[in-house]
Amino acid sequence: MRRVLFAFFAAFVLLSVSVVARAQSEVTLIAPGGIRAPIEQLIPSFEKKTGYKVNATFGSGGGTKQQVIRGDVFDVPIVQPPLPEVIASGNVVEGTATPLASVAVGIAVKKGAPRPDISSTEAVKKMLINAKSIVCPDAATGAAAGVTINEMLKRLGIDDQVEPHLKRVRGTGAGGAGGGTMVSGMVANGEAEIGMTFISEMTDPGIDIVGMLPKDTSPRTPLVGFISTRAKNPEAAKALLKFLSSPEAAEAYKAARMEPAK
């Protein structure tokens, strides 16, 4: 009986040590889908250099921000401004705010289709008003690209004219993640003439990327990393955030058509 109890106790201790070791070697990250492509590209390099295992989760911009505000447990969150509500939540270390990159709304058409003129605000307005069909992520799901697009249409004073031929799509992942991917897919399949979403999410081989909207038409959306006050592994979080703001990371952001913060 004693041998059985000892064996059980030994197994319990080994399992506990294993769980603790795994927790200490893992770093968790949450981020909007707009930065997903470069982050996933960078993770293997970070893991190889540091030995830490990255557990990354991607959602909508609004959904990610709400996770931070309500105090979900993770090591590194990446969020978009405005930041006062995030900082006021007490769930991020304010002094660790690290600008990573900014992303623009882009325009896509089906591969081989004529490319519209988007060289100026007036050209963009004409293109959006005259398009037969436009697809973009749904702001109601918290999709940052959808929010940015809605604000742009109102600022340009063409929201009522564009609305009849504008379709908003909801992603299938957590917090509406995947809306940008669906936009590209619908354009590639010929379900919409024009696709609008963050240009970093335009990865479907069946589309042609026309380009980014001019800055005075649609301002860039910056993305900022923090260390969470609830981080289970602060050292790993610090290492990951440093890596995501490194020159290597900047090259990955550029490759995803994003603008590095520095």
Instruction: Tell me what pLDDT residue 160 has.
Output: 96
Instruction: Tell me what pLDDT residue 191 has.
Output: 95
Confidence band for 24, pLDDT divided at 50, 70 and 90: low
Tell me if 2-102+222-260 shares its fold with 105-212.
yes
Instruction: Tell me what pLDDT residue 207 has.
Output: 97
Are the CB atoms for 179 and 138 separated by under 8 Å? yes
Q: What is the mean pLDDT of the chain?
A: 88
- Global pTM? 0.82
Q: 204: Cβ–Cβ under 8 A, 6 or more apart, which residues?
A: 181, 184, 185, 187, 188
For 71-81, what is the mean pLDDT?
94
Instruction: Tell me what pLDDT residue 23 has.
Output: 44
Cis check: omega of the bond before 44, within 30 degrees of 0: no
Distance CA 108, CA 181 (A): 12
Domain ranges of the chain: 2-102+222-260, 105-212
Confidence band for 3, pLDDT divided at 50, 70 and 90: low
Strands 134-137 and 166-169: parallel
Instruction: Tell me what pLDDT residue 1 has.
Output: 53
Distance CA 260, CA 262 (A): 5
Q: 29: Cβ–Cβ under 8 A, 6 or more apart, which residues?
A: 39, 54, 55, 56, 57, 74, 75, 76, 77, 78, 240
Instruction: Tell me what pLDDT residue 6 has.
Output: 45
Instruction: Tell me what pLDDT residue 181 has.
Output: 83
Q: Which residues pair with 194 in a beta bridge?
A: 134
CATH code for the part of the protein at 2-102+222-260:
3.40.190.10
Are the CB atoms for 66 and 199 separated by under 8 Å? no
Residue carrying structure tokens 């001019």: 214
Q: Which residues pair with 94 in a beta bridge?
A: none
Instruction: Tell me what pLDDT residue 229 has.
Output: 96
Instruction: Tell me what pLDDT residue 176 has.
Output: 46
Q: What is the pLDDT of residues 148-186, one digit of tens each?
A: 999 999 999 999 999 999 999 986 554 445 577 899 999
Instruction: Tell me what pLDDT residue 178 has.
Output: 58
Count of beta carbons in the 10 Å neighbourhood of residue 10: 10
CATH code for the part of the protein at 105-212:
3.40.190.10
Distance CA 179, CA 98 (A): 26
Closest listed residue to residue 236, CA positions, set 25, 13, 10: 25
Q: What is the pLDDT of residues 106-154, one digit of tens each?
A: 999 999 999 999 999 999 999 999 999 999 999 888 888 999 999 999 9
Distance CA 110, CA 178 (A): 19
Instruction: Tell me what pLDDT residue 172 has.
Output: 56
Q: What is the pLDDT of residues 49-60, one digit of tens each?
A: 999 999 999 988
| Helical pair 234-244 and 247-255, crossing angle rounded to 10 deg | 60
